[in-house]
Amino acid sequence: MAGKRVVLVEAGPDDREFSDVRTPVKWLEMHPEITYKHYTEKVWETPRRSGLAEVELGGKVLGGSSSINGMVYLRGAKSVYDKWGWGDLNWEALEDALGPLGTATPTRAAEAFLDAARENFGFEDAKNDDCEFLPDSKGDAFCKRTAQTISPRGHRISSATAFLTDEVRRLPNLRILTKTRALRIEFENDGSVATGVLVEREGKEEIIEARNEVILCAGALLTPQLLLLSGIGPASELESIGIRPRVDLPGVGKNLTSHAVADVLIPLKRRDDGLTEVTNTTTFLDAYAYMYSSFCKAVRCAAPDVALTAAYFPKFRAANGEETARIQALPQGHVAVAASRYGSPKARGTVSLRSADPRDSPKIDPNYLGSAEDVAIILEGMRRIQDIARSAANVFGEPMAFPRPNSTLRETFERTAMTYFHPVGTARMGDDETAVVDFDLRVRGGGGVRNLRVADASVIPLIPNANTNPAAMMIGLKAADLILQDDDDAERKKNACVHNPN
């Protein structure tokens, strides 16, 4: 990009200002200044600490959510990415940029759970170091040493540490603006060409001009908000809150897809089987297993659709004194194994505007209970977790039920289910009428928008059956290739000449 200048706008601070970002063990208690908390519409019927809503977290710091997440690195099945429309993806280039990855060390309880899954239920040991290809397994399988974005020096690897290196930060054509909030995309008077971004910085509004293009990377919850605030989205919805539509693009904010997850808490019979030592690289995430649900087997899925995640901590939190007392009364502690429909969840939610004020939080409806099939598949995973634990009675006690000791499995799901923090799809890539961006990541609209792209998890057309951070970084890498290709094409056109034989 010779001769081009780049302005990187980040609403939060520099990741280097917070030592906790670099320390993997700190990820469960990140500073609120670098974490978005988006409260959703009502999701659940059973009260929890956040009431009946869900709390979706996101990174508000250089590196985005890769600076605050749980650092699990699983690519997901190739059979899913093949449906995106991009062909083969250059994972080797991404992983070269990230550098050597660490691996999780499972507790004895996690190992006992996986051993029981193998011996009593036919799960296969993937026997690969990084587990990245596990989701493409032909049968139920597990990996005891899951890859993590932790460097050999014990530091978190994020998109900021991998790509905003000291050398890159010193580039004369790069300007990084932290603590700067994007409010709206600016357009020429005719409304067709993106020319910049209105931002708020140090309490004042200013316009950052863009001569070439604007690229949105705010994530699956905030990118659609920016598009809608800028008049790009369903025209009737925009008009209802006083925003003049520029482009009637009905897919903006629709197709919200994520992974819901539900915990099964399993008492331990020996405390030494749990986490016995906490170091700076402890993430409390032990191991992953994948299984084919009966739904998936019936249609002969290309990849397993249920993830079973062993962790030393439960993702759900006690909502009252009774639940707290039950957990604290376990003399030897517990392990939490979670079930999630990782493969092609059917429920779809929405992101919309509460008002025309860009400082209002977006209205988020994840709709996790919108698909009876999703719920049935998660329940099948929870049932398998219970059966595996019961088959290793020398290690585990009877799996617990919530909110009461005699609650049904469905009630336990309803109480312990929550988001897995993997929202995608709200500016979906494709070539149909409801797609928001094309395969070059340009915002569509019948030629109504130019010089505007999206490059984040919101463009994902089909959610990977894995944690979504690797996919989000791959989209960024692909976007860079597309932009450089466009730059090369423009330069060739500029230098082209026509031979006139006369």
Instruction: Please give the domain boundaries of the chain with CATH numbers for all domains.
Output: 1-101+155-257+349-361+423-486 (3.50.50.60), 105-145+260-341+369-416 (3.30.560.10)
Paired tokens of 70:
């749980």
Quickly state the pLDDT bin for 333 (edges 50, 70, 90). confident
Which helix (H) or strand (E) is 334 found in, with range? strand 334-341
CA dist 164 and 170 (Å) reads 10
Q: Which pLDDT score, from 0 to 100, does residue 502 have?
A: 37
Assess whether pLDDT exceeds 70 at residue 96: yes
Assess whether pLDDT exceeds 50 at residue 267: yes
Summarize pLDDT for 1-10 with one digit per residue, the tens: 567 899 999 9
Q: Is 59 in contact with 436 (CB distance < 8 Å)?
A: no
| Region 474-480 average pLDDT | 97
Quickly state the pLDDT bin for 360 (edges 50, 70, 90). very high
Q: Which pLDDT score, from 0 to 100, does residue 4 have?
A: 87
Summarize pLDDT for 201-231 with one digit per residue, the tens: 999 999 999 999 999 999 999 999 999 999 9
Q: Locate the DSSP E strands across 346-481.
A: 350-352, 363-365, 418-419, 452-454
Q: Would you say the C-alpha torsion 220, 222, 227, 228 has a positive or negative sign?
A: positive
Q: Which pLDDT score, from 0 to 100, does residue 367 have?
A: 96
Q: Which pLDDT score, from 0 to 100, does residue 501 have?
A: 36
Assess whether pLDDT exceeds 50 at residue 130: no
Q: Is 180 in contact with 226 (CB distance < 8 Å)?
A: no
| Region 409-413 average pLDDT | 94
Contacting residues for 75 by C-beta, under 8 A, at least 6 apart: 91, 132, 133, 135, 464, 466, 470, 471
Q: Which pLDDT score, from 0 to 100, does residue 300 have?
A: 87
Peptide bond before residue 135 is cis, with ω within 30 degrees of 0: no
| Region 277-303 average pLDDT | 88
Paired tokens of 8:
């990187």
Assess whether pLDDT exceeds 70 at residue 50: no
Q: Which pLDDT score, from 0 to 100, does residue 136 have?
A: 55
Q: What's the chain's average pLDDT?
A: 90
CA dist 234 and 215 (Å) reads 21
Assess whether pLDDT exceeds 60 at residue 297: yes
Assess whether pLDDT exceeds 60 at residue 71: yes
Q: Would you say the C-alpha torsion 222, 228, 234, 236 has a positive or negative sign?
A: positive
Provide the residue type at 327 as one letter.
I
Paired tokens of 79:
């059979």
Assess whether pLDDT exceeds 60 at residue 493: no
Contacting residues for 335 by C-beta, under 8 A, at least 6 apart: 107, 109, 110, 113, 265, 266, 268, 273, 274, 286, 310, 311, 312, 396
- Catalytic site residues? 422
Assess whether pLDDT exceeds 50 at residue 29: yes
Summarize pLDDT for 145-177 with one digit per residue, the tens: 788 999 999 999 999 999 999 999 999 999 999
Assess whether pLDDT exceeds 80 at residue 490: no
DSSP characters over 262-310: EEEEEEBS-GGGS-----TT--SEEEEEEE--HHHHHTT-SS--EEEEE
Q: Side-chain half-sphere of 51: how many Cα atoms within 13 Å?
A: 6
**From the annotation, which residues make up the binding site for FAD?**
61, 69-72
Q: Which pLDDT score, from 0 to 100, does residue 499 have?
A: 41
Contacting residues for 332 by C-beta, under 8 A, at least 6 apart: 267, 268, 269, 270, 271, 273, 274
**From the annotation, which residues make up the binding site for substrate?**
420
